[in-house]
Homo-oligomer: A and B are copies of this chain.
Amino acid sequence: MYLAQIYVHHKASILDPQGEAVLNALQRLGYDKVDSVKQGKYFEVNIKADSEDEASKVVNDIAKDLLVNHNMESYEFELKEVAK
Contacts and interface: CB of A to CB of B under 8 A. Distances in A.
A41 to B, nearest CB: 6
Interface in A25-49: 25-26, 29, 31, 33-49
B29 A66 contact: yes
Copies of chain A in the complex: 2
Interface in A16-75: 19, 22, 25-26, 29, 31, 33-49, 54, 58, 61-62, 65-67
Given A5-B7, A31-B58, 15 more contacts: A9-B42, A9-B44, A22-B43, A22-B67, A26-B66, A33-B49, A33-B58, A34-B45, A34-B47, A35-B47, A36-B44, A36-B45, A37-B44, A38-B44, A42-B42
